Amino acid sequence: MEAQSKLQYEIQLLDTICRGLQETLNVDKIIHIVLTGLTAGASLGFSRAAIFFISESGFIGEGRGIGPYDHNEAGKIWAELTDSSVTLEEMFENSHRRTLESQRFPVEIKTMKLEIAKLPPESPLKKVIFNNEIVVLRDSERFTVPEEFHWFVRHATEVVIAPIVISGKVSAIIFADNAFHYKHITPETISFLSIVLNQAGLALANAFAYETVKRNLEQLRQLNEQLRKTQEELLACERFAAAGRISTYLAHEIRNPLVTIGGFARQILEICKDKKIDPRISRNARIIVNEVRRLELVLNNLLRFSFKQPAKKQLIHLQSFLNELMEVLSINIEERQVKFSVEIPENIYVYADRIQLSEVFYNLIHNAIDSVKPGGSIVIKAGQHNKQVWIEISDTGNGIPEDVMKHLFKPFFTTKPHGMGLGLHLVKMIVEENHGGTIDVVSQLNTGTRIRFTIPEKEEHEKEENPSH
């Protein structure tokens, strides 16, 4: 190749390499561009090239290479490149990189690792690393490199070892040789190599800085997320403390009047049964009784939330228990014009705290009633499986939106204008923590919701107790 045309080729090659380096912040692609650029044309005299990084602990490793391993592979690769119309820019792309890096030479390069401290003082690698010099080894000088590199240099007559300065420090070294074609590596080629490696050092410094910024941003994002969760927990703690104070106040100031109001309302109902009194009075008394019970449920939720109590378990006949519960809820059911059915076998008993189980059913059924439109239905079913009693409450209500589902059991989360967001949290706590059961919710918008919870059956040694009806 004439001197002028060779110079034009090198200028064009250098321009292509520099543009490729400037267009990416990906470390792997930068390495690939450098290695591909150095071995792309026979005019440069390099047939193979490898880069090794220097770790903070003083090891040379993490090698990456491009080129043929032996004569046969060299002939095959160069024949393919001669017949191929692939441009240098196309060689820089990831698909071509994966093909090159699967060959034997780069695979061997990846396995190499050296400790700098164990190199002899006269080692050319030390001169490159500590003096920031480019070293050219010719003929027998090639074998002054560590023995681990002898398989590499034996196929060449000339080898170049050069430093890559990244952020003011020699952080990588390049090996390049003239294996298999044995063309002389000229001073002009060394100058070209020096320019390319200067650009590579700048590109790698930018890429490493970018990766550091990305890691820092991700750490910052994680810290922000952790801070947000901590703030939520602190807010929840403040709410818990407030709930404790409120519940204590309610226990002293509201419970006694509620008991009195409920007692008088029940007396009115008893009187209405025996005498012919205006039906509206009976209806209003029943409403008062029902609302008193609702307020007592709110109060119990607060007290239960603030002062956790162990479950006082007993054997409960589930069908009878629910029949009693339905009497209390019948007014709400009638007013909402909801079809209500209980499908529970006669022989099912649950071993549970009667008061806490009432709270579970009150909360779940009240939620179902609130969700169902007039004419809709609520069904309660129960059964036994694997020493568990399962209870299922399903409705044909509005369903629960997906964004609400993930917060469903969180304390103080509510979608109701007058709710406190404690009901379902307490349901979960009672079922899982106090009774060792499970609870699962399946819901579809505009179709309905099914809540299924389980309670373990009574242990064998406890079955002698009388069941509660």
Q: Which is the CATH superfamily of the domain at 3-214?
A: GAF domain (3.30.450.40)
Instruction: Name which of 433, 258, 293 is nearest 366 in CA terms.
Output: 293
For residue 404, what are its two tokens? 């609400």
Backbone φ, ψ for residue 448 (5° rounding): 145, 180
Amino acid letter, 421: G
Is the per-residue pLDDT at 464 higher than 50? no
For the residues 359-371, what does the mean pLDDT come to?
88
Sign, Cα dihedral of 236, 238, 244, 246 = negative
The neighbour count for residue 131, using CB atoms within 10 Å, is: 11
| The pLDDT value given to residue 356 | 86
Q: Band the pLDDT of 210: cuts 50, 70, 90.
A: very high
- Quick one: DSSP state of residue 2? -
Residue ranges of the chain assigned to CATH 3.30.565.10: 310-462
Q: In the β-sheet with 135-138, what is the strand arrangement from edge to edge?
A: 114-115, 59-66, 48-54, 169-177, 158-166, 135-138
Distance (Å, rounded) from C-alpha 348 to C-alpha 329?
22
Is the per-residue pLDDT at 345 higher than 80? yes
| The pLDDT value given to residue 454 | 94
Q: Band the pLDDT of 467: cuts 50, 70, 90.
A: low
| The pLDDT value given to residue 92 | 67
In this structure, of 221-230, 339-348, 416-425, the range with the lowest mean pLDDT score is 416-425
Residue ranges of the chain assigned to CATH 3.30.450.40: 3-214
**DSSP track, 87-100:** -HHHHTSHHHHHHH
Instruction: Name which of 383, 323, 352 is nearest 467 in CA terms.
Output: 352
3-state class of 435 per DSSP? Answer: coil
Cα within 13 Å of Cα(191), Cβ side: 6
77-108: b or e for each residue (b if 16 or more CB lie within 10 Å)?
beeeeeeeeeebeebbeeeebeebbebebbee
The neighbour count for residue 364, using CB atoms within 10 Å, is: 22
Q: Band the pLDDT of 128: cuts 50, 70, 90.
A: very high
Fold category of 310-462 in CATH: Heat Shock Protein 90 (3.30.565)
Residue of higher predicted confidence among 7 and 281: 281
Is the per-residue pLDDT at 417 higher than 70? no
Stretch (H or E) spanning 236:
helix 187-253
Instruction: Name which of 239, 296, 230, 238 is nearest 262 in CA terms.
Output: 296
Q: What are the tens digits of pLDDT across the range 67-82?
A: 888 888 777 766 665 5
Q: What are the tens digits of pLDDT across the range 283-308?
A: 788 778 777 876 776 676 666 666 56
